[in-house]
Amino acid sequence: MAVDSAGTFNRLQRTCKLLVLLCLLHISVTVVFYIRSLDNPFAFAQNQQSRNGSAPPDRHLEGFTRAAQQPEEEQQQQEKQLKDEPQEKLEKCPDTSPLLVGPLRVDFSVTVSLDQVKRENPGLGPGGRSWPRGCRALQKVAIIIPFRRREEHLTFWLYYLHPILQRQQLDYGVYVINQDGDEIFNRAKLLNIGYVEALKEYDYNCFVFSDVDLIPMDDHNTYRCFSQPRHLSVSMDKFGFRLPYNQYFGGVSSMSKEQYLKINGFPNNYWGWGGEDDDIYNRLASKGMQISRPSGETGKCRMIRHNRDKQNEPNPQRFNRIAHTRETMDKDGINSLSYRLLKKEKLDLYTMITVDVGRP
């Protein structure tokens, strides 16, 4: 009897130990999965790139990581298939991309090179084109950057923006509109030229106009178009992360083809710094459009500090011009644009379009 109960006791003890072990195992697995599910919303997400150029550990970027590790031939084959496969056959991409990671660390003290950007973005097509894999992009976005001798800034822009734009599941191309020569700079005219030249390349229906030195700090700030013209760079570090004034429309903005055409594009006669963005705002307001904006938090961005460019001094005529937008906008815009195309280069990370914009 005593031997029997001792045996039963031992068996019970072993069963209990096994149960406790199983429970511990279950709890550990649950804890691991729970922590992994938390790391995105709360972590201060790094950008896709890591300093040593290796692929990111972030699980949301698995698609990109895999592409980077694929043998080149296989990857080219896949790229070809994707190009051949009409996007129309695919399901639409969701409104909010599941690849977004949230706030990003933007740091201009790191050293970046074009080679590194190339290595880290293996999915890009010639001229800096990309499109989502596995779903059909909601819009075709041309990104237009007015430019002259800012190679270092452009490298940062490409380094930060290409991964972001891919995570945003955009069908996009990057067009750098390079003003030739040493005449006074004309930002708005370069933007008009970008619109015309991009449309020669692809059937874009959305245009993002971005300064070369502005980097978004959250990838939820999607570089696409909305039912109203969009101002994207709403809280810049330069202005203490707030709008300098309510009508401010400078830095980065987006417009659909219809919105852009409704205002006859942008003015061509703002030479030098300032005023052209206010003129664009006036054009939009005069056509009854409103400005859409992301929240101040999502719209945070950093500007690369620099000295004022030569031949881009503040334009003393800007105040007078802004006061007369309504009278001038129908005559001065996309319908009166003239320029000379000097060179078009499809580079690995962007399309460079060099133009002669003339002089005042």
Among residues 120, 171, 197, 211, the one annotated as catalytic is 211
Task: Please name which of 154, 46, 60 lies closest in space to residue 100, comparing C-alpha atoms.
Answer: 60
**Pair of tokens at residue 13:** 């003890």
Nearer to ligand BGC, 94 or 244 (CB): 244
Q: How far is the CB of 217 from ligand BGC (least distance, A)?
A: 19
Among residues 217, 303, 329, 352, the one annotated as catalytic is 303
What stretches of 89-134 show up as alpha helix (H) in DSSP? Answer: 114-120
Give the up-direction half-sphere exposure of residue 243: CA atoms within 13 A in the CB hemisphere: 16
At residue 26, what are phi and psi to the nearest 5 degrees?
A: -60, -45
Q: How far is the CB of 226 from ligand BGC (least distance, A)?
A: 21
Q: How far is the CB of 276 from ligand BGC (least distance, A)?
A: 6
At residue 278, what are phi and psi to the nearest 5 degrees?
A: -70, -35
Q: Is residue 267 part of the contact set for ligand BGC (CB under 6 A)?
A: no
Nearer to ligand BGC, 128 or 275 (CB): 275
* Candidate list 128, 250, 272, 294; residue touching ligand BGC; CB under 6 A: 250
Nearer to ligand BGC, 218 or 277 (CB): 277
Nearer to ligand BGC, 58 or 278 (CB): 278
Q: Which of residues 148-207 bind ligand BGC (CB under 6 A)?
A: none
Nearer to ligand BGC, 210 or 351 (CB): 210
Tell me if 100 sits within 8 A of 61, measured CB to CB. no
State the DSSP string of 266-334.
--S---SBSSHHHHHHHHHHHTT---B---TTTTEEEE---PPPTT--B-TTHHHHHTTHHHHTTTSSG
Among residues 277, 278, 279, 332, the one annotated as catalytic is 277
Q: Of the listed pieces 7-15, 175-183, 254-262, 272-280, which binds ligand BGC according to CB under 6 A?
A: 272-280
Among residues 58, 197, 219, 276, the one annotated as catalytic is 276
**Helix/strand/coil for 358:** coil
* Candidate list 244, 296, 316, 360; residue touching ligand BGC; CB under 6 A: 244
Among residues 213, 219, 278, 332, the one annotated as catalytic is 213
What type of residue sits at position 19? Answer: L
CA dihedral 196, 197, 199, 205 (to 10 degrees): -70
Q: Is residue 299 part of the contact set for ligand BGC (CB under 6 A)?
A: no
Q: How far is the CB of 274 from ligand BGC (least distance, A)?
A: 4
**Pair of tokens at residue 175:** 């067009």
**Helix/strand/coil for 126:** coil
Q: How far is the CB of 250 from ligand BGC (least distance, A)?
A: 3
The site that binds ligand BGC (CB under 6 A) totals a number of residues, namely 7
**Helix/strand/coil for 235:** strand
**Pair of tokens at residue 241:** 């992360």
Q: Of the listed pieces 56-64, 82-90, 117-125, 274-282, which binds ligand BGC according to CB under 6 A?
A: 274-282
Q: Is residue 274 part of the contact set for ligand BGC (CB under 6 A)?
A: yes
Q: Is 213 a catalytic residue?
A: yes
Angle at 206 between CA 208 and CA 318, to 5 degrees: 45
Instruction: Convert residues 275-294 into a mask of x (bound to ligand BGC by CB under 6 A) and - (unbound).
Output: x-xx----------------
Q: Is residue 146 part of the contact set for ligand BGC (CB under 6 A)?
A: no
**Pair of tokens at residue 247:** 């009508």
Q: Is residue 318 part of the contact set for ligand BGC (CB under 6 A)?
A: yes
Q: Is 211 a catalytic residue?
A: yes
Give the up-direction half-sphere exposure of residue 197: CA atoms within 13 A in the CB hemisphere: 31
**Pair of tokens at residue 201:** 């390349």
**Contact residues for ligand BGC, defined by CB under 6 A:** 244, 250, 274-275, 277-278, 318
Question: Annotated active-site positions, please?
Answer: 211, 213, 273, 276-277, 303, 306, 308
